[in-house]
Structure 1
Amino acid sequence: MSSHKPTLILVHEPEKACLDRLVADGHAPERAAEISSYLAQSTDLAPEFDTLAAACDRGGLAFVPVELDDAASTLTGADPSTTLVWTLTDGIAYFRGGAAPALARLGGFKTIGADDSLFALCQDKFRSGAVLGALGLPVPQAGLARDGKWLVEPPASTAGWFVKPNRLGAKIGIWPDSRVSDLGHALELSRRVFARYRDDVVVQPYVAGRNVRASFLGLTPQTGVEALGIAFVESGADFQTMADSLALYGDTGEAAKAAGEYLEPELVAVGDSQPGADAKIRRIAERLIQGLGLRDVFSIDLRVEADDTVHLIEFEVCPGLPCFDFRDYCRAQWGLSLADAMAQTAANRLMP
């Protein structure tokens, strides 16, 4: 790769590459398709690569989208002094995107986003929760089960528990019965998850409240939590299942739209009705930035109760940039399209 311009390299793992690798590793094709669907932002953003290239060009940058399997060879031919690496898709287990920031660090490249250690941490919900708890953040305690056996027993809970995969990269409960009232059911779900996906499950006390997404893009390196976009995500459901997720993104999302089965959740600013909760979430984000090292681009998922009690569920270092909520955030906070917001963010790092 050669360019006289400063260059933004966007590294992404395509759904198809992941699916083929999972099938070759013995996963059933249907399960592999479900797992690889978490990489749908690669599918959804690819049609806009020309738009991104044009936006970068207006800012004096070259834009090079690179599939993950080509990242090492592409970076070998790039100039670290004029190249910025932005990793679109993460992963350390089923997905491999976490290798990209590590490769960038190895080659001495500037990056957008957190360092590679956080790419690994956020993909293991049990370990991530332990670190967040040690930082004093309001994250539910968790147990861990594998194929019907406890590795760590969960705490007692009068409200029941919530069961979710540990490393599949999502907060979803997979099935509608993922909220359970007895721990025997939780172990049964762990057997089901292990059989289908080869994953452990995190078992946390169920926490009440409305689902909240906090989105962040640091258009300049000096941008702080004042730029956080914090919104209730109103889908009409208590939590998202695998079926809900499949209907929102990627090829399955497009099929759902074509069939008239796609219903985009409503976003409502938390600060409009619960300014106290909004302020708490900004303090949580500040703690994550200072204590954990989040920067540039990330999202946080939370539950907020009517009395402003806030529960931190998880953070993501590779938020779904082409998803409806992040596009809305770019428009509302920055007055920019996704492509222009990405291009300006990159330009402000390469040409401050």
Structure 2
Amino acid sequence: MPRSNPKLILVHEPEKACFDRLVADGHAPDRAAEISSYLAQSTDLAPDFDSLAVACDKRGLAFVPVELDAAANALAGADPNVTLVWTLTDGIAYFRGGAAPALARLNGLRTIGADDSLFALCQDKFRCGAVLGALGLPAPQAGLARRGEWLVEPPPSPAGWFVKPNRLGAKIGIWPDSRVSDLGHVLELSRRVFSHYRDDVVVQPYVAGSNVRASFLGLKPETGVEALGIFFVDSGGDFQTMADSMALYGETGQAAKDAGTYAEPELEPVGSSQPAADRKIRAIAQKLISGLGLRDVFSVDFRVEADDTVHLIEFEVCPGLPCFDFRDYCRRQWGLSLADAMAETAANRLFG
């Protein structure tokens, strides 16, 4: 049997497919729209598919975008010798992208990114925090509440607490009152989150500082933490809410661009003003690579204080590739557009 042509399969879960499934499962349409908006990178990357096809073709491979619901059949028929699978979306609860790397492994296919166990872990913030703590990393301790009841009480915190859904996306807040000064209001928020999203809440001591995003793309297999792009992300607020997120990405973000009201947060290199914090973040990333198994493509969110204290908030195995910050990272670190950076990464894995 002749060998198939080399190809990169990009598995993605569309917002609409997720929205329809959530509504069918009984979620209110407004809530389903909010939840599915976390898949906006599938919407935002679609206009790049033609550029990705050209960039891949220049490097001797085909580009094949596959919607998640078609992934089982597409991956079952792929040639393991010449196929690489890149999963764009994760998820074990509202989103189901975590199934794609598992399907790739089932079919003996090589993948870009972490293995499927981390796709599951990163979407459960409470369990993830426990693992990060066991690795000795500076992640805030957490409590866990469900529908107004404590499952695990949070540690004391003179600065108050921060409340976020346990399994919903990767944002660090939903509403402006996600920073809380009394535990009674925490339980009220847990009731609100359960009512809106059917989720528990993680309750962490509030940590001060500026928001920092560290982005990584291993363009070559031997790429290390020297290639991290570490930037302050200043959106003008203390933390990002659901409304802030929806204003940046997907259909809402595009509408803002069309109306001339779209404004990206400012990005400033951490190393320019706080080199000690930059070094700490690279050391943490190395521990995540060696101790946890992050590889190929990921992002990590931090809070960095003025005295260079670094707090690890969470990591992503499926960073927002078409987002402004990752495109900026590809230009600064690799001198490439997003499409060329993705195609070069895939070619190096298949032919390197």
Tell me the TM-score normalised to structure 2 length.
0.99
Contact 1:7 1:63 in 2 (8 A): yes
- 1:348 matched to which residue of 2? 348
Alignment-derived partner of residue 11 in structure 1: 11
Task: Within 5 Å, give how 1:107-186 maps onto structure 2.
Answer: 107-186=107-186
CA contact (8 A) 2:170 2:316 kept: no
- The answer as to whether partners of 2:85 and 2:104 remain within 8 angstroms in 1 is yes
Q: 1:251 corresponds to which residue?
A: 251
Whole-angstrom distance in 1 between the partners of 2:3 and 2:58 = 16
1:123: Cα distance to partner? Answer: 0.2
Amino acid at match of 2:117: S
Alignment check: 8 A CA contact 2:122 2:128 kept: yes
Does the CA contact (< 8 Å) of 2:4 and 2:79 recur in 1?
A: no
Aligned twin of 1:213: 213
For residues 26-175 of structure 1, what are the structure 2 equivalents within 5 Å?
A: 26-175=26-175
Identical counterparts, % of pairs = 84
Q: 1:324 to 1:3 in 2, by over 3 A?
A: farther
**Structure 1: gaps (5+ residues):** none
C-alpha displacement at 1:3, in angstroms?
8.0
Compared CA separation, residues 23 and 218, structure 1 to 2 (3 A): same
Letter in 2 for 1:222: E
SS in 2 for 1:66: strand
> When the two structures are aligned, how many residues end up with a matched partner?
351
In structure 2, what is the Cα distance between the partners aligned to 1:134 and 1:56? 40
- Asked whether the equivalents of residues 171 and 314 of structure 1 are also in contact (C-alpha less than 8 Å), the reply is no
Partners of 1:170 and 1:300 in 2: CA distance: 10
Quick check: 1:3–1:62 contact (8 Å CA) kept in 2?
no
1:162-189 deviation digits (Å, cap 9, x = unpaired) = 0001000223311000000000011000
Farther off after superposition, 166-175 or 285-294? 166-175
Q: TM-score, normalised by structure 1?
A: 0.99
What is the alpha-carbon distance in structure 2 between the residues aligned to residue 327 and residue 3 of structure 1?
34
- CA offsets, 1:201-249, max 9 Å, x none? 0000000000000000000110000000000001110000000000000
Structure 2 residue 242 is matched with structure 1 residue 242: yes
Q: 1:257 Cα deviation (Å)?
A: 2.0
Secondary structure of the 1:247 match is: helix
Amino acid across the alignment from 1:187:
L
Question: Aligned partners of 2:4 and 2:202: how far apart in 1?
Answer: 48
SS at match of 2:222: coil
Q: State how far apart, in whole Å, the 2-side matches of 1:33 and 1:280 are.
A: 38
Give the counterpart letter for 2:39 in structure 1: L
Amino acid at match of 1:100: A
Structure-2 residue corresponding to 1:290 = 290
Whichever residue aligns with residue 305 of structure 2, its letter is: E
Q: After superposition, give the CA deviation of every residue in 1:244-291 in whole Å (9 maximum; x if it has no partner).
A: 000000001111222333210000000000000000000000000000
Aligned to 1:194: 194
Q: Residue type of the partner of 2:32? A: A
> Could you say what secondary structure the match of 2:72 adopts?
helix
**Structure 2 partner of 1:25:** 25
Unaligned segments of structure 2, at least 5 residues = none
RMSD between aligned alpha carbons? 0.9
1:124-179 deviation per Cα after TM superposition (whole angstroms, max 9, x unaligned): 00000000000000000000000100000000000000000100022331100000
SS of the residue corresponding to residue 248 of structure 2 reads coil
